[in-house]
A and B are shown apart, each in its own frame.
Chain A
Amino acid sequence: MMTNSAVRVAAIGDIEDGEALKVPAETTGHGDAIAVFHDGGAYYALDDTCSHGQASLSDGWIEDGEVECPLHSARFCLKSGEPQCMPATVAVRTHRVEVRDGGVWLHPGQEAAG
C-alpha cells in the first residue's frame, strides 16, 4: 500500500464532536476520499466510500465508536473499519490520524493501529 506523508486536514475544533470531514481524493493522493471522524474527543479515519453501496460515510451518523452509513444503515467500527451489521459484509480501510500542533493530521494509506 502506498504511504503518503501526513496531511493536515483540520485544526482541532474544526470538526465538531459527532461530525466528519470528507478529505477529497486529490488531497489524500489515495484514490478514494477519506472520511475523518470526531467521536467523543477522538479522531478516526476510514475510506469515505461505504463497502456496500455508493455512499459517503462522512455523511453518516457518528456515535459510540461507530459510523452508520447514510444510505442503507450499515454500521462500521471507527477504529477497525469492520462492518457491525448488514448489509455491509466487507470492512472499509482505516487510516492513521494524529493530533499534534493544534491540528488533525491524516496519514493516507497508513493503517490505524489496531
Chain B
Amino acid sequence: MSVPRSVAVVGAGLAAVSTCDALRAQGYDGELVLYSAEHGLPYDRPPLSKDVLLGKARREDILLRPEAWYGEQRVDLREGTPVRVIRPYEGGLELADGAVVTADRVVLATGGTPRALPVPGGDDPAVHLLRTWEDAERLRERLLPGARVAVVGAGLIGAETAAVALAMGCRVTLVDPVPVPLAAVVGDAVARALHERHTAEGIEVITAGVERVERRDGEVALHLGGGGGVVVADTVVVGIGIRPATELAEAAGLAVDNGVVVQEGQHTSHPHVFAVGEVARREGHRVRHEHWEAAQWGGEAAAHGILGRGVPRRGASWFWSDRYGVRLEVVGTMGQAERMVLRGDPHGGSFTVFGLCGDRVVAAAGIDRPRDIKAARRIIDRGVAVEAGVLTDESADLRAVLR
C-alpha cells in the first residue's frame, strides 16, 4: 500500500487527536487536517461529567494537546468546520460550506450522539444531554443549591452527573429501570456497592422507566412507568448511552452495523477510509468500545493501518468512573468470566472482584483499588495462571504473581 500524501480526520475527540499523534510519531510526513465541528481546541471528554460540571476545570485545563502542538506537529486544525459528505471514490470530502477538498485517506472519528429518551417529550430541549463542552456549561449553570435535579440513567455518565449535582447542593433523584445498573459490566458485588452509595449519600433512587416527559412552567415532570408516579424537577439530565454518528459512513455506502464496521488497522469497507473511536465497531466484536482508552488505542491502530503496517497486539481494555470521591476501575471483560472471586470486603469501602475462566483472570473490577487493577491488567495481558486463593488473600502480593 502506498503512503498517502494527505489524510483528513473528521472529528476532534481523543480518537481523532490520537490518530494524528500516532501518524506523526510513526513518521508520516504528509498533509494532516483535523476537521472539528466544534469551536476551540480539541478537549478531553471524561472531565465533562466530573470536574467541569463541578466548576473545578476550565476549558484550558482539559485540552487534549496544547495549542503549540498543532503547529509543531503540522496538524492543520479546522475548527467550526463540519464535514458534509465524504467522497472516497473521488479522493476527497465536502465541507458544510460547500467547499470540496482532496484527501487520499479519510479517518472517521465522528464519535456518538447521546441518545434522547425514546418517549413522548423525550426530545424536549429542556432535557439536558451531556456530550460536549457546551452541554456541560449549560448544565452546570442549572446545578444550583437547592435545585431539583432528576437524572435518568444510572450508568457511568448518569451516576457521575448525579454525584456532581449532589455535591453542588442540588436535591437529586436518579431514575433507572434496572435495579442494579452495570451488573453485567462490573459484576454484581461492585454494581451493588456503587448503586447503594447513591442512596447512602442522600440521592433518591427510583427503579422505574420513564414513559413521558412533560414540560411545565419552569419545571419538567417525568411520568414513570409501572405506577411509579411523577418526578418533578427543575432540571432533567438523561444519560442512557449514545448512538454512533455513522451518517457520513452510511451516505458514502460503507458497511455500517451498530457502528462503522472495521477490520484490524481500523480499515472500513472502503480501502481509503478508516474509522476510530466509538463510531467504529470491530467486525466480530459484539459491542463498540466506547471508553477513553479504546479511543486512544484506535487512533494508534489507525495510524498503523493507514501506513500499511502491522498493528501491535492490544491488551485488556480498561475504563474508570468517579463519583463521591470513589473510583471504579474495570479491566477486561467481566461477561467472559465463569466465576468471580472477591479480594477485600464489599462493605469495607474498597475491594476488587476478579473474573476467572479456569485459572486465568479475564476481568477485574475494583473500587478504590488502583494497584489491584494494574496487577490484574498485567496478569490478564501476560496470560499468567493464578490460584483463586492468591487473589482472595489480601496479604498476598499480586506483584509476586507476575514475577
Contact = CB atoms under 8 A, between A and B. Distances in A.
Interface of A: 18, 59, 61, 68, 70-73, 86-87, 89
Contact of B44 (A18, A70, A87): A87
The A interface is mostly helix, strand or loop, or mixed, namely loop
A70 B371 contact: yes
Given A18-B399, A61-B371, A72-B320, 13 more contacts: A59-B370, A59-B371, A70-B371, A71-B327, A71-B370, A73-B293, A73-B318, A73-B374, A86-B14, A86-B18, A86-B21, A86-B296, A87-B44
Contacts of A61: 370-371, 374-375
Given A73-B318, A86-B18, A68 B374 contact: yes
A71 B21 CA distance: 22
Interface residues of B, number: 17
A6 to B, nearest CB: 30
A89 B18 CA distance: 12
A70 B399 contact: no
A89 B296 CA distance: 14
A30 B44 CA distance: 31
Contacts of A72: 320
11 contacts: A18-B399, A59-B370, A59-B371, A61-B375, A70-B370, A70-B371, A86-B18, A86-B21, A86-B296, A87-B44, A89-B69
B362 to A, nearest CB: 19
Nearest to A61: B374
A108 B37 CA distance: 46
Interface in B280-298: 293, 296
The B interface is mostly helix, strand or loop, or mixed, namely helix
A89 B371 contact: no
A8 to B, nearest CB: 27
Nearest to A89: B65
A14 B123 CA distance: 61
B120 interface: no
Contacts of B371: 59, 61, 70
A86 B63 CA distance: 12
Contacts of A70: 370-371, 374
A89 B374 contact: no
A23 B99 CA distance: 58
B51 to A, nearest CB: 9
B40 interface: no
Nearest to A52: B44
Contacts of A86: 14, 18, 21, 296
B229 interface: no
A61 B373 CA distance: 10
